[in-house]
A and B are shown apart, each in its own frame.
Chain A
Amino acid sequence: MPGFALTLGVTLTVLSTVVLIPLSAVVIRSAGLGWEGFTAAALSERALAAYRLSFGAAFVAACVNGVFGLLTAWALVRYRFPGKALVNAVVDLPFALPTAVAGVALSALYAENGWLGAPLADLGVRAAFSELGVVIALTFIGLPFIVRTVEPVLRDLSREVEEAAASLGARWTQILVRVIWPALLPAWLTGFALAFARGVGEYGSVIFISSNLPFSTEIAPLLIVIQLEQYEYGAAAAIAVVMLAVSFLMLLVINGVQAWSRRYEG
């Protein structure tokens, strides 16, 4: 194939300067701690609680988006309704909005005296300043990833396949589960992985809506910032290395599942 050497060369160069070299600097920085220092910083009880929250909340948020993002994409592709263009534009807002603005808006909305927070508080649910608040923020910023990855695949799905299935006697649930869903799965997984990865790294919006309490509502990126504030560059890098490693593994697994789900495609 012509152009292979050129494109691969450019790809590797850009990937190295933009991604790999900065990341290796993080690893080198953390290596300065030595093994004991590294485990003390990266695997402290507080750090473990922070990973649990960051990865857990990002996972829950990605699942929520997996359901509602899919529905949104479905509605946008399959139906015509007034204000569709507007809805279409609104979906992308979380991409464009500075995350701090999102955090401030969400915490005002979900605080106990906010529009949504007050009725929730009456039900005994504390939305802002809790783990739930973290999930809400991550759901907000992750939504467009699922919608925008599923949408084009859904649009290209030919109606004839569904009609053929129907003419062969398939019920609509069968069509949904056995015809449409398998075709969407790879794109959906990509969207899920993107939303999840974005959520793991999110900082700006979360610190406004979380109560930032160590051991309960402190996300790992905040712990990194806290380490930097006290000039513990090595410890900050150590936590970052753990986050990198876990994120990388999870993305690798998701990509693996995705490749497996595409196994029948040409």
Chain B
Amino acid sequence: MASGWTKRGVLAGAAAGVAAPAVLRAQPRREPLTLLNVSYDPTRELYDDVNRAFAADWARRGGGPVTVRMSHGGSGKQARSVIDGLEADVVTLALADDIDEIAARTRALPAAWQSRLPANSTPYLSTIVLLVRAGNPKRIRDWGDLVRPGVEAVAPNPKTSGGARWIYLAAWGWAAKRLGGDARARDFVTELYGHVPVLDTGARGSTTSFAKRNVGDVLLTWENEAFLTQRELGGQFELVRPSLSILAEPPVALVDRTVDRRGTRAAAEAYLRFLYSPAAQALIAENFYRPRSAAVLARHRERFPNMEVFTIGNFGGWTAAHRAHFAEGAAFDRLLARARRG
């Protein structure tokens, strides 16, 4: 009978489909090993360098050829892609909250992921600075100058950009300390976003608006992005370090579920450990991120002067900061509504 035939055919096909991956896995790996690093927007140049150095290092230590593929985008969007099934071996995102979100929603890595690597799993640091036009025509020296009449400050949207969350918290932290208290900070940040003429979806978008489209008087951005913009479009911009800013700690993590399924754990772990090596730390500093290594940092002191900073700990960690500031209907949503309605 025809239907019996078909059914048996389907079953046989299904059995073959189930058996096939096992057969493939049993064979020795022939093609070069690949890792997928899902990262955020401004790390393109950094990981170009790091990946090349890691491949050489891994081969030298007898690991065989390895290629690290990259995926870049807004940090939150990248986290969502991983949650929705993008097979990342490692994630290197803008803030811990996005990796927490992956851990909580997929259980692809343990909730305590951040304690698995040195220094809270953050091999490099950055901070938030102000980039102004050459000659600093509006005389912007600190956060307080951003809300003077006639000053326009370009920043991305904290809802869609990881960097923008650090910017928002940096402004809030400065105001809470210098103006005194959270109520004052709320007023200041409300006023600040009233001075934002273009709210781009990512840090790179804001850089483009400010540097190429000539929008605004000052760009609020990552220190590394400010350096990069200066290098690409030298002479047109000046970097202004505010009197107080936030220590941005972009974390990295292994995605256990992916590496165990693909058999890439050893290489992926080595890759993340490599970020802490002197060679990688030097590349990190060259790409304008602040290295963890004190020795490497000392060699680049001129580029990375000491700044007074506070950490996400001031806000009770990312989970608390998210709930208080960035969740639906939390502080940011409320102050936007206030800022727009005047």
> Are A and B bound to each other?
yes
Interface residues of B in 214-234 (CB under 8 A from A): 214-215
- In the docked arrangement, what's the CA distance between A222 and B213, Å? 21
Q: Is the CB of B199 within 8 A of A113?
A: no
Inter-chain contacts of A112 with B (CB < 8 A): 213-215
Residue among A113, A213, A226 with max Cβ neighbours from chain B (10 Å): A213
Say whether B159 contacts A211, CB under 8 Å. Answer: no
B337 within 8 A of A: yes
Nearest B residue to A222, CB-CB:
B201
Stretch of A15-23, A55-63, A230-238 lying at the B interface? A230-238
Q: Which 10 A-B pairs have the closest CB atoms?
A: A111-B213, A215-B340, A113-B214, A211-B198, A229-B76, A226-B159, A212-B199, A229-B160, A214-B336, A129-B198
Q: Which residue of chain A is the closest to B77 with respect to CB atoms?
A: A229
Q: Which of B96-119 contact A (CB under 8 A)?
A: 101, 105
Interface residues of A (CB under 8 A from B): 45-46, 107-108, 111-114, 128-129, 207-208, 211-216, 222, 225-232, 235
Q: Is B263 an interface residue (CB 8 A)?
A: no
Does B74 interact with chain A (Cβ within 8 Å)?
yes
Q: Contacts of B209 on A, CB cut-off 8 Å? A: 129
Assembly CA distance A225 to B341 (angstroms): 23
Whether B80 lies near A229 (C-beta < 8 A) is yes
In the complex, what distance in Å separates the CA atom of A113 from the CA atom of B216? 12
> Cα distance A211–B198 when bound, in Å?
4
In this complex, the interface size class of chain B, counting residues with CB under 8 Å from chain A, is 20 to 34
A230 to B199, Cβ gap below 8 A?
Answer: no
User: B80 contacts which chain A residues (CB < 8 A)?
Assistant: 228-229, 231
* Chain A residues whose CB sits within 8 angstroms of the CB of B77 once the complex forms: 229
Q: 18 A–B contact pairs at CB < 8 A?
A: A111-B214, A128-B213, A129-B213, A129-B215, A208-B205, A212-B198, A213-B196, A213-B199, A214-B199, A215-B341, A226-B159, A226-B160, A229-B74, A229-B77, A230-B76, A230-B159, A230-B328, A231-B101
Tell me which residues from 47 to 89 in chain B have a Cβ below 8 Å from any Cβ of chain A: 74, 76-77, 80, 83
- B283–chain A nearest beta-carbon distance, Å: 30
Answer whether A225 and B213 are a contact pair too, CB < 8 Å, given A46-B337, A213-B199, A213-B340.
no
Contact B201 A207 (CB under 8 A): yes
The 8 Å CB contact of B213, one of A113, A215, A226, is A113
Q: Would B159 and A215 count as touching, CB distance under 8 A?
A: no
Known contacts A46-B337, A215-B340, A230-B326; is-contact A108 B213 (Cβ 8 Å): yes
User: A226 and B157: CB pair below 8 A?
Assistant: yes
Nearest CB of chain B from residue A29's CB, rounded to whole Å = 14
Task: Write out the residue numbers on chain B whose beta carbons fall within 8 Å of the beta carbon of A232.
Answer: 328
A216 to B196, CA, bound (A): 13
In the complex, whether B212 has a CB less than 8 A from a CB of chain A is yes
Cβ of B197 within 8 Å of any chain A Cβ, yes or no, is yes
Q: When chains A and B are docked, how far (Å) is the Cα of A212 from the Cα of B161?
A: 13
Whether A107 contacts B213 in the complex (CB less than 8 A), given A226-B157, A229-B77, A229-B80, comes out as yes
Closest Cβ of chain A to B111, distance in Å, is 16
**Which residues of chain A have C-beta atoms less than 8 A from B196's C-beta?**
213
Q: A212-B199, A229-B74, A229-B76 are in contact. List 20 more A-B contacts (CB 8 A).
A: A46-B336, A112-B215, A128-B213, A129-B197, A207-B201, A212-B157, A213-B199, A213-B340, A214-B337, A214-B340, A215-B336, A226-B160, A228-B80, A229-B80, A229-B159, A229-B160, A230-B76, A230-B159, A231-B83, A232-B328
By CB atoms of chain B within 10 A, which of A45, A208, A215, A229 has the most? A229
B307 close to chain A: CB less than 8 A: no
Is the Cβ of A225 less than 8 Å from the Cβ of B199? no
